[in-house]
Amino acid sequence: MLRRIAFKHADGVCFQGFFFSSFTECGWAASYSRPSRRYFKMGVQASHTAHPTNEDGTPVAISWYRTKLEPKTFKRLHETSDLRGALQTVGWILCLFAWFALALDCHAKRLHGLTVVFVLMYGMQANFAINGMHELGHGFVFKTPALNAIFMRILSFLGWLHPDMFFSSHLRHHRFTQNAPHDQENPMPMILTRQHFLDFGFINFKGAKETLQQTLKAAFAIYPTGHLGWLAGWEKVCTELDFEISCLC
């Protein structure tokens, strides 16, 4: 069941398709799906995330410290706008395509130095597509949920990202932040080395190779894919278990 390209979700059928874009992007895998009306309303498919339980069968609960915040202030901080969302999101996309067009134009005019500059500019901006996908997936960009869902898919495509796999982990991350083993999205301590900076900070050849491998594995439902550097055990919890639950709905 898990090796089918189409997974049946409770809110419709999500077709996992993967497409290739510029190798200069420092991103991951892109996915295309047909969200249903219920998907637009929710923004992300939170209902499909399995909740872990203790040995006695009771749900895992974390005793959180909650910062005191006035309800009015909380509401104001979470206000969204279709106009501001469009200015930021569409502006980001247009800027990305401007680097793309300038690179092609300079290449056609044999201005090789400028071509390299604009290719690098495109790659550096495309690397931050994951930030846009993150905010859009949480539904905190546009006021209209459908616009969040649509542009989340567009930015995921441009950034080689798989939003369904990402949020399968990320929703757990928000429920159990830094409480292992229920959150393994950002294992601590995170140590940045000089080699990491050299690999990721300029032209990420290793990342490009890994992206192609992960994209092909995910397209053919070969698990684990190594998506976003996840360990095999965490990917199994986040993807296969959620897909199994979705297929039973």
Beta strands in the chain (DSSP E): 6-9, 12-15
Instruction: Please name the residue ranges forming H helices in 109-143.
Output: 112-126, 129-138
- Mean pLDDT, all residues of the chain: 75
Domain span at residue 192? 6-53+80-248
| Cis previous bond, 181, omega within 30 | yes
23 found inside a domain: yes
- What amino acid is encoded at 11 in this protein? D
Give me the percent of the chain exceeding a pLDDT of 90: 33
**Tokens, residue 131:** 């930030």
| Cis previous bond, 189, omega within 30 | yes
87 found inside a domain: yes
* Higher pLDDT, residue 61 or 91: 91
148 found inside a domain: yes
pLDDT tier, 145 (very low <50, low <70, confident <90, very high otherwise)? very high
* Higher pLDDT, residue 200 or 107: 107
pLDDT in the model for residue 155: 95
> How many folded domains does the chain comprise?
1
63 found inside a domain: no
208 found inside a domain: yes
69 found inside a domain: no
- Give me the sign of the Cα torsion angle 187, 212, 131, 79: negative
pLDDT in the model for residue 243: 52
Query: What φ, ψ does residue 183 adopt, rounded to 5°?
Result: -130, 110
244 found inside a domain: yes
For residues 155 and 186, give the distance between their C-alpha atoms in angstroms, rounded to a whole number.
Answer: 22
44 found inside a domain: yes
